[in-house]
Amino acid sequence: MLSLPLITANLQTDFTGREIKYLPKVTSTNTKALELLEAGAKEGTVVLTDNQTAGRGRHGHYWYSGAGKGLAFSIILTPHIVFESASLISLMAGLAVGEAIKKFQLTPRLKWPNDIILSGKKCGGILVETRLQDKMMTSAIVGIGINVNETSTDFPEAIRSDTTSIALEKGTSVQRELTLAWTLNAIERWYLVLKSGKINSIISACENLCAHFGKTVSFTRKGKKIFGVFEGITENGEAIIRFPNDTGKLKLSSQEISIIREK
């Protein structure tokens, strides 16, 4: 079971994770966080569980997290930023998870828009659900799943070959509480950067961690398979894809495609 005092002892935040709603078992921390938001929960409140039974992934996929082994949590933010910046919330969350994992002397990579990769396999994912009002993003539930101490056979067979955990990569188990506290510390730091408008520093940090920067990628858009070079990320968090033979560029929003692959 997760120890809340151990999390708090490692927090260096003003508001993120200062209120933690811990639930031993829950369907989805994002769903619970939305309920708490509606009931007036404060910014920075974290919903955390040891056993998420119906984790939700992007594009309606199921998210598996190992009971008592992985991390599944959601952070309530109330950013009041223009809705065009919505994708940046999930980019900065990916950045924060990447930074936390780096502290274990591992080399995480980000797969745009928000997969966390270790040794080419998925180790974490982010699902951001936002509320908009008058073209402003008033609130965001930032749901984060990190595979921490799972062994290979813990993962369902269908995802086993493409999935890894921090422990599998490091060869030893690590403290989930520390992983969480480090992630929350980094989230708050990047969130304040985002709110101060220094978007370029988020973009360049993401590009630095990006697994496919400058590489040829493929994806399916409107039923058509497309190839192009991943050139970078725009100020709104879209991917910039350059077509072969300099035949133009495309800006890709994270809603448009589910998977971008290296060629």
Q: Which residues bind ligand BTN (CB under 6 A)?
A: 28-30, 55-58, 61, 63, 65, 72-74, 115, 125-127, 143-145
Give the nearest distance from C-beta 149 to ligand BTN in angstroms: 15
Helices 86-102 and 199-209: crossing angle in degrees, nearest 10, is: 50
Our CB check for ligand BTN shows the closer of 28 and 185 to be: 28
Q: Which residue of this chain has its Cβ atom nearest to ligand BTN in the complex?
A: 125
CA 90 to chain CA mean position, Å: 6
Our CB check for ligand BTN shows the closer of 25 and 61 to be: 61
Give the nearest distance from C-beta 61 to ligand BTN in angstroms: 5
Give the nearest distance from C-beta 40 to ligand BTN in angstroms: 21
Give the nearest distance from C-beta 198 to ligand BTN in angstroms: 26
Buried b (16+ CB within 10 A) or exposed e, 215-240: eebebeeeeeebebbbebbbebbbbe
Q: Which two tokens stand for residue 169?
A: 């990569």
Give the nearest distance from C-beta 64 to ligand BTN in angstroms: 9
Our CB check for ligand BTN shows the closer of 79 and 125 to be: 125
d(CA 75, CA 48): 9
Our CB check for ligand BTN shows the closer of 229 and 237 to be: 237
Are 33 and 74 in contact by the 8 Å Cβ rule? The answer is yes
Our CB check for ligand BTN shows the closer of 49 and 185 to be: 49
Our CB check for ligand BTN shows the closer of 180 and 202 to be: 180
Our CB check for ligand BTN shows the closer of 71 and 199 to be: 71
Give the nearest distance from C-beta 257 to ligand BTN in angstroms: 13
Helices 176-195 and 86-102: crossing angle in degrees, nearest 10, is: 140
d(CA 112, CA 208): 12
The DSSP output letter for 36 is H
d(CA 258, CA 229): 17
Give the nearest distance from C-beta 65 to ligand BTN in angstroms: 6
Q: Which two tokens stand for residue 176?
A: 């989930």
Q: Which ranges constitute the DSSP H helices of 17-171?
A: 29-38, 86-102, 157-160, 166-170
Q: Show the CA angle centred on residue 150, arms to residues 114 and 184, nearest 5°.
A: 45
